[in-house]
Structure 1
Amino acid sequence: MRKAFAILRLALAGLGVVGLVADFLYTLGFRAFQIDNFFAYFTTQSNMAGVVVLGLSGLVALAREREPRWLSTLRAIVLTYLVVSGIVFGLIAVEANNRGVRVDVPWSSALLHFVIPSLAVLDWLLGPGRRPVRWRAALAVLGFPIVWGVVTLVRGALIGWYPYFFLDPGQVDGPVAFVLYDVIVLGLISGIAAFVVALSRVRPFGAPRTTEWRGPLSRLREQLSRRRRRTAPAPSARP
């Protein structure tokens, strides 16, 4: 099973390369297309990271039973970005439809936004070899989106182009709506990250039943049981 999931991760990394190249070639057909704008999309950057991390985790899974904890943490962070990209793209498509704007979804975009994230979630939940991720990763995951957002806002103000409408002050209904959109996106990222971290604490198939996979309730019950044993009166000696 370990080698099967290793091959799946390598295949997902390959699909990511195919999707990125195909999506790049698709956007070349637009007159207003600029190469640097393609790489400014959060989806593009998260899938590029996904190619590297999925490929690396696939190679590690071929070589050893369990991956190092830092790799599990990195996988959780990148998986969060992949899932968020798909959700945000779907919300943008709905908002564009409400505004009467047509949104075409080529197969490459569907691959990057929906297929790869869905399979990556299944791999994360079912695949062997991962380790439980610490909860602080759910906060660390915000680092890159915040930096990316600041750079995007500065760059957009200089060139007059933004990859997403909710980052463009000219396309939202005032500063309150602008801040609200950004807060919602950051909240979505945090929520997805917490969900991914929680999934990492579910024991994978084939993993031994060790204390590493005990949930917080199990640990609490164990601590209470130990405390009761310590405070229980000693049995009286026989006469």
Structure 2
Amino acid sequence: MGKPKRLEAAKGMKELTLRHFRAGWLAREEGRKVAFLTSGAPVEFLHAMDVVPVYPENHGAVCGVARAGGRLCQAAEERGYSRDLCSYWKIDWGARIRPAESPVGGLPAPDFLLCANNICRTVVKWYEGLSRFYRVPLLLLDLPFRHAEEVPAAREYVRGQFRRLPGELSRLTGRKWSEERFRQSVALSRKASALWQECIDANAARPAPFTAVDQFLMMGPIMTMRGTPE
């Protein structure tokens, strides 16, 4: 079997990833608001308020790809964190202790945090720790697990939290909520998500056009740039 060919679409992945992290640092220099958020959080709300999103989870992955994960995990463990904890968490925390080990120089300090617990429960403790570390507000979205069928009460519970979120963001940013920008961001997210799903569905073919490893490497933009033209 020959060596697998590199996907054409993967060639610009490094630049896209670096652009995301540079945007956070640039926002700090320009005096714009920066927020950390989890990968499952509705970033479209932040785009509506011109808040620059930064993803600590993605930062952990980038450090891992750069083979800095082991050293950064050790740095977190030396501060008392258990070896059994999530490596994403430990790598990101380790980079706060040793920012020079991060391939992107660590992350800029956030103005506030937006955490949604729909991806895992670890992020709640992760973001509580970040809130204490940076001494910034934490907004938590409690999103119930969806089983086979949707529960109407759960839908209304989530809707209620989403309805309150614009007011909280206005309070934290001092800006007026932009429904137009929000709808534009949602439309872009829907389009990007549909295109990404088409890519995933294409792997039903035999032979599959790309591997599971390719898929994990290529999913970065749908997380970090969701809701933007990029």
TM-score (norm 2): 0.29
- Write 1 or 2 for the structure with the bigger share of helix: 1
Task: Give the number of the structure whose alpha-carbon radius of gyration is greater.
Answer: 1
